[in-house]
Structure 1
Amino acid sequence: MIQSQKRWRISRPNDDLVTTFEQELTIPRVCAKVLVSRGFNSVEEAKSFIYITEDNVHDPFLFEGMEKLVERVHQAIDAGERIMIYGDYDADGITSTTVMMKTLEAMGADVIFKIPNRFIDGYGPSERLFQQAFDEGVKLIITVDNGISGIQQIQFAKNLGMDVIVTDHHEPGEVLPKADVIIHPGLQDTKYPFSHLAGVGVAFKVAHALLGEIPKELFYLVAIGTIADLVSLKGENRYFVQQGIKQMKKNDSIAIEALANVSGVETSAINEETIGFAFGPRINAVGRLGEASPGVELFLTEEPNKALALANMLNDKNKERQAIVKQITDEAIELIEQQHLDLKGPSVIVVGKEGWNPGVLGIVASKLVEKYYRPSIVLGFDVEKQIAKGSARSIEGFHMYNELAKNSDIVTHFGGHPMAAGMTFPLEHVEEFRNRLNEQATTCLTEEQLIPVVSIDVPLEMHEISTESIQSIQMLSPFGMGFAKPVYCLENIEVNSVRKIGSAQNHVKMELMQGAVLLDAIGFGKGDLADEIAPATKLSFIGDLQINEWNGRKKPQLMIQDAKTNQWQLFDIRGIRQVNRWLPTIPEGNTTFVCFNKESLAHFESIISGKIWFHNNVIEEGIVSDCICLLDLPLEEQDLINLLEHHDWQRIYAHFFANESTYFEGLPTREQFKWYFSFIAKRKNFALKQHIHELSKHTGWSPNTINFMSKVFFELNFVRIEGGTLVLNENLPKRDLSEAPAYQQRTKQISLEQKLLYAPYKELKQWFEERRAAQTVPEEEQKWI
């Protein structure tokens, strides 16, 4: 058995519907399978998804309050009032701010922007910055990507005499701020039909309303913020991102050209992964480490040299951020292990330390979730101010925002989503906060939910895989939250070849086979898998399909994410006398090492650390593990059968060491016994010890064979042994050679060696298969076999 690292949740699409989609939409079967697995039930629905159009963009005036917002902004512009866009320090907030700045500048407004400093102001509205805005003559504040939780701060701005418009998408609390207008797609009783807009999506809808038309030139900003903020890529978000990527590929933006330059990306190759893993982290980095305004300046500038300088600054900040994240992650893991936190059952990781940069704690929390698969909260302690400030990341089944809300009496400031949140609260409450969350985890998380889940859309047959079918998947892009990149599954596949690769031998390369179809597969960081695959084992794999191009030739290739099999496996380590060659491949701590002969114990004890068991002790003491290593040959076949009946071993390692093999020496023939007996009978006695080598040379028999025949004659009472001499007995009994115990034992030994030690792998596995199968037959049926 090979245990998968995650719970596989496989969708098995309806074949008839798949065929319908394949034929009526003229798309490859792989694409049809993805669509059916994702819940598309009609050709029309699937068609509108694939070929999404501007019709999917909703009227911005469906937002309650949008007319009032437009009226107030036009009033401010007409009156020459200064407007401030108040953003957030992440990629969503930076692009939201840029969208509003470009829109209002195009309308001729007197507009400025401010973004809070994560270390000075924290998340959301800031009284300090609102006071600054008032001092600078601002009359109207428009928040983007924040504000819904800034009840006190917005009231502060209102008390100063400024009007406040909140545009946000974060989880609203039970009490809303008393702003002049709130534009939010997730409010109760909202008429807006799509609740999954990012902050930049909400800002874009405001821009649409203010301009009276869709500001298509800003699609690229919406695409960046939407992907970076990990919101659902369905509905109009899908259209925004699709159009934004097309726009970026045309290289119309100085900022995008600069970002592509520092990221080492060809603009023609930009896709959702480029945005998520290259552009997004660089834009986020400035706000994580200090002032985020250079991110907005990058998107606002019209000067190529300035754009490149700002992009290089973002790139440098990202490198700095990466180093800080690694340091804090290492320290967090060390703290978790030092505190011996109980991570066996439902629990929440709450870890913190003085001096941790609060700007990267969300990334660290994500890495802890990846490592431990528990909801994780990482806190930075400010001892001087006596506050703890941090970020949270969650897992399926633990609604982080709701669980934090249950602790609002001690968590004084928090906000976020089901899967991520930020918080600030008094340092004195950290321990109580940890205890409460762990108690809450026991009520909402099950043991099963603590195993990571991977959803698999596409169970495939290997004949369905081609370079064309892989390329066709792009018609379903962009992929992201709510419409993830497909995970493919190949079930019960033969591994034609397997080997470790890489300088550290920590990767694996395989050739998979199903019928006559072959497929290359690569598993990065999965080198140990090579030691877990026995010959003729069929495995199931999940992963991504990619096209490998080498010397102008394109071939499909599976990038392995996980693998499993329910089959027991036989590992053939017979004949490898150097134990240190095979010992490292055997699971440490989960293997029972067994000897059948005490003589073998001395051979292995000095090499194998840990206890080696004799076969009877394994059964008597009830020892079980997943794996068993058979170090030597049994004296009786039944001894091994008894071990197999004792436990359903999932892996059997067959070494079957034999110090002296009898199989090739064989059993002397009756003619040989007859000649040797006549030889002794003529002389009445024979000094065996003295002349055995002369007899061996004369007959061509080995000394072992001569000694064996001598022992048989002795056991049958044909001779007696006196001081190393064989003496013929008188009145010899009539007995058959097979009556001698030595003859019987040698016959058994030859048979055992033939079955176990020298049989081809296929025959040896068949021997084990038959004995394992007998275990599963009910006793009442066994007597009829």
Structure 2
Amino acid sequence: MSHKIVRRPQVDDSHLPTSLPPFLKQLYARRGVTETDCELVLTKLLRPETMKGLSEAAVLIADAMAAEKSILIVGDFDADGATSTSVCMLALKMMGAHKVDYLIPNRFDYGYGLSPEIVAVAYSKSADVLITVDNGISSIEGVAAAKLLGMQVVVTDHHLPGQSLPNADVIVNPNQPACEFASKSIAGVGVAFYLMSALRAELRQRDWYKQHHINEPNLGTLLDIVALGTVADVVSLDANNRILVNAGLKRVRSGRCRVGITALLEVAKRSPEKMVAADFGFAVGPRLNAAGRLDEMALGVETLLCDDMMRARRMAAELDGLNQERRELETGMQQEALKSLQQLSLNEDDLPWGIAIFQEDWHQGVIGILASRIKDRYHRPVIAFAYAGEGEIKGSARSIKGLHMRDLLERINSLHPGMITKFGGHAMAAGLSLKADTFEQFKHAYDNAVRDILEYEQLTGELLSDGELPTELISLDTALTLRNAGPWGQSFEEPLFDGVFRVVQQRIVGEKHLKLLLETPCGTLMLDGIAFNIDLAIWPDATIQQARIVYKLDVNEFRGNQTVQLMVDYIEPL
């Protein structure tokens, strides 16, 4: 699909430190960085007292520990859920909690969140206190069931609440009404980390550590897990999230990270010393997520909790195998989806504005990634459904800029009451369930709702570029500066540049990656470039001698040598 290249405008950067290179000052200013955001130090984290419910939750958990009550962490089956669960398990044990365990619903048997069915499992484990992590804000029935059975419930979540809140003892969620915590885009693992920090302070006030002859724990040792969950959940990297991710990356680079993360980096062939945020997103996160998608997320949690390197390596290898299986499943499903879309329409202009796709044999665990891939290909909001049994289908939705997916589902729900049996999520991603026999009806309602909100121009993929990089700045020094200037990620995008280059050489490497030798227009510089997953119907083509290229600057390492390389995001023959 063709993209529109939009260059970011020049902005005033005089408020930023003069110690920064001029090009970096401009890149930061365009991304809304203030002078105080430049220093990513833990002392600048948002204060915990502004997070509604945090101190009450800390008191409840401290009382439970003092009374030796049984505490059960109920997590979600994705990377954010696994990391949130791990942070709570490790922190509680470091603080001397003896009766603490976790439970992650299997997505195929129980579905998402604290359902009444998962509450029954928790009750059978004799849990006194339930702490939900990365879920619970929409679990109204589950919380009611737990209260009925005499359990205390602390909900910690970051998802957007519905019209009513669960009747939990305490709710900690920056997106709940009247919460003044400024980082609304914090991940579930960030909320869990804040809760554990508040609990540590509450126990300190009670003289708990002295009484129990334990050292007050350094929760900074958990920041590598916090960083992993934050990046893997693709939340916006606002200043607070960047501080958390940066601190976690520092632990990894200095060789002080958990053995489970080290083992996952090993199987992904990533070097801890050169770790960047994208490695959490593209190398570690998917392998962790594969457990929850295809099997039991407990395997992912155990990998993060593990402190024995040999065992961690065995589990990382198992996760790597699951991820490979997930990729193969996803590739097959993607081909089927594209084929059915091509049959639907020969002309891209005739495609639905909101794409809804369903096939009975698709795997529930992979529909989210499938929706994401189709969305990237057609630049339209996509919902992919899989059969969930008992006449119900489950959908995973991915949106595009300008369309708030959870609000859209709420709109459809109010226009067609009862069509959607349940839904929840964020602006860019959401989940829902329907009765299978209403799929066709839903498909039309969804397409119409998207047409009511979007303008046609919004269906054209936009690439936000930082403009043309002067030839003297296309260098290893610039690439290294940019690597260390992050962490880059969602809503704090890694700089993209664009320019016209002469194509000197082109060849396919792997199955569908295009290796390029490029020359700057003035002929002063030859550069290596690589474009992943290109359209084999267009490339390679010896008649193409010039192209407009949108790229990131990357450091290529080969046999100990570092060179600058262009990572091509988009290539347009001229």
TM-score, normalisation: structure 1? 0.66
Superimposed CA distance per residue, residues 592-648 of structure 1 (whole angstroms, 9 cap, x where no aligned partner)? xxxxxxxxxxxxxxxxxxxxxxxxxxxxxxxxxxxxxxxxxxxxxxxxxxxxxxxxx
- Aligned residues: percent identity? 32
8 A Cα contact 2:4 2:463, kept in partner: yes
- Corresponding residue SS for 1:179: coil
The 5 Å alignment of 1:468-547 reads: 468-490=477-499, 493=500, 495=502, 498-502=504-508, 507=514, 509-515=516-522, 517-520=524-527, 522-524=529-531, 525=534, 528=539, 533=544, 540-547=548-555
Q: 2:75 & 2:495 partners in 1: Cα distance?
A: 34
How do 1:366-515 residues align onto structure 2 when only pairs under 5 Å count? 366-382=372-388, 385-408=390-413, 409=417, 410-490=419-499, 493=500, 495=502, 498-502=504-508, 507=514, 509-515=516-522
Paired residues of 2:501 and 2:549 also in contact (CA < 8 A): no
Which runs of 5 or more residues in structure 2 are unaligned?
A: 202-216
- Looking at structure 1, the residues matched to 559 and 251 of structure 2 have their Cα atoms a distance apart, in angstroms, of 32
Instruction: Mark the CA change 1:341 to 1:560 in structure 2 (over 3 Å): closer, same or farther.
Output: closer
Residue in structure 2 matching 1:273, options 274, 278, 284: 278
Classify the secondary structure of the residue corresponding to 1:391: strand
Q: 2: CA distance between counterparts of 1:293 and 1:224?
A: 17
Match of 2:209 in 1: none
Per-residue CA shift, 1:652-701, capped at 9, x if unaligned? xxxxxxxxxxxxxxxxxxxxxxxxxxxxxxxxxxxxxxxxxxxxxxxxxx
Asked if the contact 1:488/1:544 (under 8 Å) is kept, the reply is yes
Which residue does 1:12 correspond to in 2?
Answer: 9
Higher mean alpha-carbon deviation, 300-309 vs 439-448, is at: 300-309
Structure 1 235/214 Cα, relative in aligned 2: closer, same or farther at 3 Å? farther
Deviation string 1:305-337 (CA, Å, 9 cap, x unpaired) is: 322222121111111111111122122222323
Task: Report if aligned partners of 1:500, 1:506 keep a CA contact under 8 Å in 2.
Answer: no
The Cα RMSD (Å) is 2.5
Please give the alpha-carbon distance, in whole angstroms, between the structure 2 residues aligned to 1:285 and 1:334.
25
The answer for unaligned runs of 5 or more in structure 1 is 570-785
Residues 1:513 and 1:65: Cα distance change in structure 2 (over 3 Å): closer
| Corresponding residue SS for 2:468 | strand
Query: CA separation in 1, counterparts of 2:559 and 2:239?
Result: 41
User: In the alignment, which residue of structure 1 is the partner of 2:70?
Assistant: 82
CA distance in 1, matches of 2:286, 2:113: 20
Contact residue 398 and residue 418 of structure 1 kept, 8 A: yes
Give SS of 1:169's match. coil
Distance, in Å, in 2 between the alignment partners of 1:522 and 1:366 is: 25
Which structure is richer in relative contact order (CA contacts within 8 A, separation 6 or more)?
2
Once the two structures are superposed, the pairs formed by residues 31-110 of structure 1 within 5 Å of their partners are: 31-40=24-33, 45-46=34-35, 48-109=36-97, 110=99
The question of 1:141 aligning with 2:130 is answered yes
SS at match of 1:418: coil
Distance in 2, matches of 1:278 and 1:204, equals 23
* 1:443 shift after superposition: 1.2
Equivalent residue pairs, number: 547
Please give the secondary structure, in 2, of the residue aligned with 1:171. coil
Instruction: Name the counterpart of 1:589.
Output: none
Q: Are the counterparts in 1 of residues 42 and 244 from structure 2 also a CA contact under 8 Å?
A: no
Q: State the one-letter code of the partner of 1:75.
A: D
Give 1:353's aligned amino acid: Q
CA contact (8 A) 1:84 1:112 kept: yes
Q: Distance in 2 between matches of 1:320 and 1:494?
A: 38
Deviations 1:437-494 (Å, cap 9, x if unpaired)? Answer: 111121112221111111112432223322212211123211111211110123xx46
Which amino acid is 1:326 matched to? T
Paired residues of 1:349 and 1:374 also in contact (CA < 8 A): yes
**Structure 2 SS opposite 1:116:** coil
Partner of 1:159: 148
Q: Distance in 1 between matches of 2:513 and 2:289?
A: 32
Work out whether residues 12 and 459 of structure 1, in 8 Å CA contact, stay in contact via their aligned partners in 2: no
Question: Which structure: larger Rg?
Answer: 1
Counterpart in the other structure of 1:334: 339
Deviation for aligned residue 1:134 = 1.5
Deviation of 1:39 after TM superposition, in Å, equals 3.1
- Kept in 2, the 8 Å contact 1:388–1:427? The answer is yes
| Residues 343 and 403 (structure 1), Cα distance of their counterparts in 2 relative to 1, 3 Å cut | farther
TM-score, normalised to structure 2, is: 0.89
Residue in 1 that maps onto 2:223: 219
1:30 Cα deviation after fit:
2.6
In the alignment, the residues of structure 1 paired with residue 133 and residue 568 of structure 2 have an alpha-carbon distance, to the nearest angstrom, of: 41
User: Given the superposition, is the C-alpha separation of residues 551 and 245 from structure 1 closer, same or farther in structure 2, using an over 3 Å criterion?
Assistant: closer
1:242 maps onto 2:242 in alignment: no
Q: For residues 31-52 of structure 1, what are the alpha-carbon distances to aligned partners after superposition, in whole Å with 9 as ceiling and x for unaligned?
A: 1231232234xxxx34x33322
* Alignment of 1:319 onto 2:328: no
Contact 2:7-2:466 within 8 A present in 1 as well? yes
CA contact (8 A) 2:183 2:238 kept: no
User: How much does 1:532 deviate?
Assistant: 6.2
Task: Tell me whether 123-132 or 545-554 shows the greater mean CA deviation.
Answer: 545-554
Cα distance in 1, alignment partners of residues 27 and 275 from structure 2: 23
Relative to structure 1, the CA distance from residue 146 to residue 463 in structure 2 (aligned partners, 3 Å threshold; closer, same or farther) is same
Q: 1:209 and 2:198 equivalent? A: yes
Correspondence for 2:182 among 188, 193, 200: 193
| Rounded Cα–Cα distance in structure 2 between residues aligned with 1:367 and 1:494 | 28
Deviation at 1:61, TM superposition (A): 2.3
3-state SS of the aligned residue for 1:99?
helix
